């Protein structure tokens, strides 16, 4: 697990980080242009700024989920589970890993449906006119990678429980 899937999750999150840097750059440029305009220097913001940022955020947001799952960085409610016997805690962990994998696959399925419908409808952003369906693809990939990591973690936990190692 710490091989190919781990590297994919790391590179995928790096891609999400690069998108966030682009969002920050575009936002900074636009904010600077509005400030200059407010000071009377006759500069304007970037046309279609809202379209570009909305589409980039929608792509970048899910790109961090696989790495978060890989590192077990998700929120864990430990308060009550801490007092449970070890076997029950491990069983709950496997249950939630399986549920996470199933939920990510479910969401990915519906995102594929949304991608296909958006493509068929030729939906475009309102100002720039960019087709919106390509911005679904990073989300689909993110959800598939997230599900794969959670499923592998679940399998590893089960193998450790039965003493077969992972």
Count: domains in the chain: 1
| Domain span including residue 42 | 4-162
pLDDT score of 33 = 87
Cα gap 146→148, rounded to integer Å: 5
Range 36-43 contact pairs with CB under 8 angstroms and sequence separation of 24 or more? none
pTM of the model: 0.86
Query: What is the pLDDT averaged over residues 68-85?
Result: 79
Tokens of 117: 């419908």
Reported as a pLDDT band with limits 50, 70 and 90, residue 66 is very high
Using the predicted structure, report yes or no on whether residue 99 has a pLDDT greater than 80. Answer: yes
- Length of the chain equals 166
12-51: pLDDT as tens digits: 999 999 999 999 999 999 988 888 888 888 777 788 888 9
Residue 143: CB atoms within 10 A of its CB come to 23
Reported as a pLDDT band with limits 50, 70 and 90, residue 137 is very high
Cα gap 157→93, rounded to integer Å: 8
Reported as a pLDDT band with limits 50, 70 and 90, residue 10 is very high
Tokens of 126: 């309102």
pLDDT score of 42 = 73
Cα gap 26→49, rounded to integer Å: 7
pLDDT score of 77 = 66
- Three-state DSSP at 111 gives helix
Question: Given CA atoms 139, 141, 144, 145 in this order, what sign does their dihedral have?
Answer: negative
Using the predicted structure, report yes or no on whether residue 1 has a pLDDT greater than 70. Answer: no
Do 56 and 22 contact (CB within 8 A), yes or no? yes
């Amino acid at each position: 697990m710490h091989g190919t899937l781990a590297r994919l999750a790391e590179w995928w999150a790096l891609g999400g980080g690069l998108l966030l840097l682009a969002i920050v750059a575009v936002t900074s440029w636009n904010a600077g242009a509005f400030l200059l305009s407010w000071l009377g220097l006759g500069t304007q913001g970037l046309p279609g700024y809202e379209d570009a940022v909305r589409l980039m955020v929608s792509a970048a947001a899910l790109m961090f989920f696989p790495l978060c799952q890989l590192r077990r960085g998700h929120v864990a409610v430990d308060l009550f589970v801490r007092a449970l016997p070890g076997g029950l805690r491990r069983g709950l962990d496997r249950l939630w890993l399986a549920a996470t994998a199933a939920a990510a696959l479910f969401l990915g399925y519906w995102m594929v449906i949304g991608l296909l419908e958006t493509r068929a409808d030729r939906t475009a952003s309102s100002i720039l006119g960019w087709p919106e369906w390509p911005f679904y693809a990073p989300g689909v990939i993110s959800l598939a990678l997230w599900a794969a990591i959670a499923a592998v973690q679940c399998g590893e936990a089960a193998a450790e429980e039965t003493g077969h190692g992972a």
